[in-house]
Structure 1
Amino acid sequence: MPGQVGPVHNEQEGLLAYLAQMRYVVRLSAYGLTDEQLRATPSASELSVGGIIKHCASTEENWLSTIRREPQSVDYQRYADDFKLADGESIDDVFARYDRVAEQTEKSVIELGDLDFRIEIDHSVPWNRKDLTHWTIRWILLHLIEETARHAGHADIVRESVDGATAYPLMAAAEGWPETPWLSPWKPKV
């Protein structure tokens, strides 16, 4: 996937394209890492690259449940666990889950076809605004873009702390960009 979203013909297409781009960028932070490096927590926080990607998949899955009006419960232990790769869980497992969630999000949004479609807000959780009665699909997509972009930044910092790699050299390596005087594709340290 190129470094920027392509031409956008309508708002729904644009929102879905930018969400797909942010998913790609957060996933890219795992490029070339070993299982141990994916689980490493080298910064001041408890965040790991693998855990951040898993959290993004889980967050989008939860918002998909909101769009579908499926009952949800707040499970703080599950929330904490979503920031860590479980024993035996691979990044490929997380990527497969994220792909399924992304496909279902896009399918649901396209089927609804109305960015103004309203979904009642669950006021039983403390982080949902009490002064509003509903979300729209537009708001949810913008929120998912914001949330995924925020965590892509976290993943960049964690990844850089693991092995010094940063986003554009990783993208260049993953996509086979040629070396230029101003950008060298990432290479694993030997």
Structure 2
Amino acid sequence: MAGNVPPVADERDGLLRYLEQQRYVLRLTAYGLTDEQARLTPTKSELSVGGLIKHVVSTEDGWMDTVLQLPQKPFAESMREYQENYRLGPDETLESVLARYDAVAARTAEIIAGIDDLGQAVPVPQGVPWFPKDVEAWSVRWVLLHLIQETARHAGHADIIREHVDGGTAFPIMAAAEGWPETPWMKPWSPQPA
């Protein structure tokens, strides 16, 4: 997938393709990293490329549970998992997190394909402090837009973390991942000798 979303057929296609594009640019921040590099927290925050991807995977999966109105975990358990999902654990690999992302993306596509009306109500879970108390329901459309927003926000965070890890930036990494030829204005990223 190149740097831009291709033309879209309709609203559903557009929402899913834009979400797919944001997933792609987030995944690119991990291109060429080792598991150890994906765990690094090179800024003042505790964020890492692997942890950000793991968080976004968990967030998207959770939102699909909400769309399906599946039972929610108790708040304390959800908060513990939320905090753990910002870290790529020592027993986890970048490859396993990216494989889970593929599975979650496929699940999202399947769920959305099974919903006739993107205006379908998605009840706001109760007891979550950051959810509005004056809104009874969002729509499936709103959830997809929110996932695009969340994924894009964290892709930006991951870009900054990645640049601190090894100097890699978005377009040179994309050029390397997609096999673009070197030009006077774009040199594809390559690992720097240690």
Q: How big is the alpha-carbon RMSD for the aligned residues of Structure 1 and Structure 2?
A: 0.8
**Aligned partners of 2:152, 2:126: CA distance in 1, in Å?**
25
Counterpart in the other structure of 1:45 = 45
Partner of 2:104: 101
Report the Cα offset of residue 76 of structure 1.
1.5
2:114 to 107, 111, 125: 111
The alignment covers a number of residue pairs equal to 190
TM-score normalised by the chain length of structure 2: 0.96
Deviation at 1:170, TM superposition (A): 0.3
SS at match of 2:114: helix
**Cα distance, 1:113 vs structure 2:** 2.4
4+ residue runs over 3 A deviation: none
Runs of 5+ unmatched residues, structure 2: none
Are 1:28 and 2:28 counterparts?
yes
Q: Which runs of 5+ in 1 are unaligned?
A: none
Q: What residue is the counterpart of 1:133 in the other structure?
A: 136
User: Could you give the per-residue CA deviations for residues 118-142 of structure 1, whole angstroms, max 9, x where no partner exists?
Assistant: 0111121011111111010100000
Answer yes or no: is 1:77 the counterpart of 2:83: no
1:184 to 2:187 alignment: yes
Instruction: Tell me how far apart the structure 1 counterparts of residues 189 and 48 of structure 2 sit (CA, whole Å).
Output: 20
Write the distance in 1 (CA, Å) between the matches of 2:38 and 2:89.
12
Which whole-Å CA distance do the structure 2 matches of 1:8 and 1:15 have between them? 9
For 1:135, give the aligned amino acid: W
118-127 or 47-56, which moves further after superposition?
A: 118-127
How big is the shift at 1:86? 1.5
C-alpha separation between the residues in 2 aligned to 1:97 and 1:34? 17
